């Protein structure tokens, strides 16, 4: 039984960055958060040199936010990968495979040394393939992973200003190891890996004390209550 690649194309997809601003109640610290998704990419499993994927994220806009308040920049990478094994019938009659399995080691390298490595697997006990070179595809369970790194303060200048950051991810895989039994020699096995994920960047701003603000609101509320009491 021979193993060969059946997927030879890569779909690159990067959606527009989604922005959010959150505040921590205890210290009123603002976090400006952007994220963008990539994939899912059906990778060429015979390409060990890697598949580059470029994503874009907004910089810390110094025309909108006070750069002196910036205290941290974090970049995170998360992935979801699934292995797939295909059973091909090269004969003129229906053949049944009694077992199939694949293991594909996939590595993703991102900015700041971010790296995610996963062994994606798929397996099945029985697959019936009709004749004529058609195939049956078995998908494995998705594997999710994530990692985060902080940008050194000396490098913040590259993340500040207007415009976009252009970040490149590199996906590599070992081609996969395929196996199967049954079919009386009329079956062959191939497959690939499907990978997608999210790249995010968070800009942390210096916390602002909430005690003074809450105390001021309390004083205003007390004054209004007194005025209403006197008028009553």
Q: Quick one: which of 120, 99, 107 has its CA closest to 189?
A: 99
How confident is the model at residue 209, as a pLDDT? Answer: 64
Length of the chain measured in residues: 232
What is the spatial distance between Cα 225 and Cα 210, in angstroms, rounded to a whole number?
22
pLDDT at residue 42, as a whole number: 65
The model's pLDDT over 195-220, given as tens digits with 9 standing for 90+, comes to: 889 999 999 998 876 554 444 444 44
* Residue 152 DSSP class: P
Residues of the chain with pLDDT under 70: 1-29, 41-49, 209-232
Nearest to 190 by CA among 146, 148, 134, 232: 134
Judged on CB neighbours under 10 Å (0-12, 13-18, 19+), 142 is middle
Is 188 exposed, middle or buried (CB count within 10 Å of its CB: 0-12, 13-18, 19+)? Answer: buried
pLDDT of residue 220: 41
The per-residue pLDDT for 175 is 77
pLDDT at position 22 is 56
At 47 the pLDDT is 58
């Amino acid at each position: 039984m021979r193993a060969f690649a059946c997927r030879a194309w890569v779909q690159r997809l990067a959606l527009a960055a989604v922005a959010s601003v959150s505040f921590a109640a205890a210290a009123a610290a603002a976090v400006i958060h952007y994220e963008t998704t990539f994939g899912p990419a059906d990778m060429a499993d015979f390409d060990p040199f890697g598949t580059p994927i470029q994503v874009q994220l907004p910089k810390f806009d110094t025309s909108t936010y006070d750069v002196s308040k910036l205290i941290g920049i974090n970049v995170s990478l998360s992935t979801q990968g699934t292995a797939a094994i295909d059973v091909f019938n090269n004969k003129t009659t229906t053949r049944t495979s009694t077992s199939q399995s694949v293991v594909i080691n996939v590595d993703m390298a991102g900015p700041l040394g971010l790296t995610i490595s996963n062994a994606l697997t798929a397996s099945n006990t029985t697959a019936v393939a009709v004749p004529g070179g058609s195939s049956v595809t078995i998908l494995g369970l998705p594997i999710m992973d994530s990692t985060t790194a902080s940008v050194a303060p000396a490098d913040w200048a590259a993340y500040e200003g207007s415009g976009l950051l252009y970040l490149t991810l590199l996906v590599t895989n070992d081609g996969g190891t395929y196996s199967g039994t049954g079919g009386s020699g009329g079956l062959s096995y191939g497959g690939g890996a499907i990978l997608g994920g999210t790249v995010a960047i968070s800009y942390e701003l210096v916390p602002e004390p909430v005690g003074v603000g809450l105390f001021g609101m309390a004083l205003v509320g007390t004054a209004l209550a007194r005025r209403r009491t006197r008028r009553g």
